[in-house]
């Protein structure tokens, strides 16, 4: 006699396990302890076999009967429903392992050692916010260009054009990785070149040569925290990236060699970098030593000295000096590059000191010391130039800006 919902619900455990049959080989198995579950006996190729449909009440009587009907159709077609179930599970596992998110996270882990922590965080945050919710679950080999375009368009709609381009660029790199690891055959992101709105390239605001004297005068008169003032001076003298400056460690400074050696893990392109220190830069560091020399960082966080200076400290100082939208910390790289190029320093020497990307990985491993003699001379010239700019005098004044 077929089961009813009430009889299934009221089936209680007994001292020994028992079965309640629903016909066509299916029954409810009731153990002494644990959950009730659905099973089906069947014969295939002359052998008796058992198929599990799941536990009750997760699988209702109606659900179990539906699964029984599918199993009987499979048998009628000459296939073993147990083996078909195993194969389906295997395919699901493969699809799960080859989902876009699974492959993307694998790609991310493989690339992680080549990125700075800040960039790595940007990449995974972008993927988790904009990409994974839409296509993360999809088998990577089945994703189409139109699905990727929908992601880009959605990001565009909130006005984040640059993020839209970067998100699809990351997707393209994930597909390239999937191809070489034999999880996909083509890269649909390549079909989207020119499909998104173009990004108007933003340039960091920077000072021109004729603006330096006034800025340096205001910096000398800056009445904020002394460490911030010295950090600004050191940034102008070395024209490193602000993240590299903020993370500077005293252990990276060699006073005897007049060098600041920044390790690869703190550089944007993950290549070690040498910053020759002018007499003026060394003077700034010696002035800093009584203030911060007992801490790990050259420029510690004023509220939490075990960490480094916050991201906005220098920018807010520039604002306080009256240069909102007229200058940025990063902009001093453009100021130095422009003036050094105009004063006939070799472009290769300037680019190496700016630590711009070297696309040849083998060369990049040795580039930190390239043109070092010329770079020392150039950095001292630059510091002397700043002294003259600060005073309006032609005579070089060593050790200070004015």
Active site residues: 241, 268, 330, 333, 356, 366
CB atoms within 10 A of CB 249: 16
SS3 of residue 158 by DSSP: coil
CB atoms within 10 A of CB 10: 8
Do the beta carbons of residue 32 and residue 15 sit within 8 Å?
Answer: yes
The sign of the torsion formed by the CA atoms of 362, 363, 367, 369 equals positive
Tokens 């050191």 sit on residue: 234
Q: Which residues pair with 193 in a beta bridge?
A: none
Interstrand relation of 26-30 and 37-44 (parallel, antiparallel or unpaired) = antiparallel
CB atoms within 10 A of CB 194: 5
3-state SS string for 234-246: HHHHHCCCHHHHH
> Prior bond to 57 cis, omega within 30?
yes
Rounded Cα distance, 26 and 40, in Å: 4
Nearest to 210, CA basis, from 19, 56, 402, 392? 392
């Amino acid at each position: 006699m077929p089961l009813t919902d009430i009889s299934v619900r009221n089936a209680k455990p007994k001292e020994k396990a028992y079965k309640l049959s629903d016909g066509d080989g299916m029954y409810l198995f009731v153990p002494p302890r644990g959950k009730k579950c659905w099973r089906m006996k069947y014969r295939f190729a002359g052998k008796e076999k058992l198929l599990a449909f799941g536990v009750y009440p997760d699988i209702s009587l109606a659900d179990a009967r539906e699964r029984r009907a599918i199993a009987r159709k499979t048998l009628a077609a000459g296939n073993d429903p147990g083996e078909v179930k195993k194969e389906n599970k295997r395919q699901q596992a493969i699809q799960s392992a080859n989902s876009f998110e699974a492959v993307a996270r694998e790609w991310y882990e493989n690339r992680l050692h080549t990125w700075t922590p800040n960039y790595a965080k940007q990449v995974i945050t972008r993927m988790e916010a904009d990409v994974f919710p839409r296509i993360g679950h999809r088998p990577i080999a089945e994703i189409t260009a139109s699905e990727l375009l929908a992601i880009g368009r959605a990001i565009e709609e909130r006005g984040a054009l640059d993020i839209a381009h970067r998100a699809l660029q990351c997707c393209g790199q994930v597909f390239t990785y999937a191809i070489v690891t034999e999880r996909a055959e083509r890269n649909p992101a390549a079909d989207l070149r020119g499909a998104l709105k173009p990004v108007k390239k933003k340039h960091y605001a920077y000072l021109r040569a004729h603006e330096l004297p006034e800025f340096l005068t205001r910096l000398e008169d800056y009445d904020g925290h002394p460490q911030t003032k010295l950090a600004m001076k050191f940034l102008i003298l070395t024209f490193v990236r602000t993240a590299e400056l903020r993370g500077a460690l005293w252990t990276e400074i060699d006073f005897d060699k007049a060098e600041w050696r920044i390790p690869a893990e703190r550089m944007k392109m993950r290549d070690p970098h040498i910053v020759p220190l002018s007499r003026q830069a060394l003077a700034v560091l010696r002035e800093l030593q009584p203030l911060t020399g007992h801490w790990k960082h050259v420029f510690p966080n004023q509220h939490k000295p075990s960490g480094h200076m916050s991201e906005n400290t220098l920018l807010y100082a520039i604002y306080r000096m009256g240069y909102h939208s007229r200058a940025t910390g990063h902009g001093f790289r453009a100021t130095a590059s422009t003036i050094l190029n105009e004063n006939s320093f070799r472009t290769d020497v300037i680019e190496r000191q700016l630590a711009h990307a070297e696309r040849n990985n083998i060369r990049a491993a040795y580039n930190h010391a390239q043109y070092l003699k010329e770079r020392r001379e150039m950095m001292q010239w630059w510091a002397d130039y700043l002294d003259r700019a600060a005073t309006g005098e032609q005579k070089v004044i060593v050790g200070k800006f004015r």
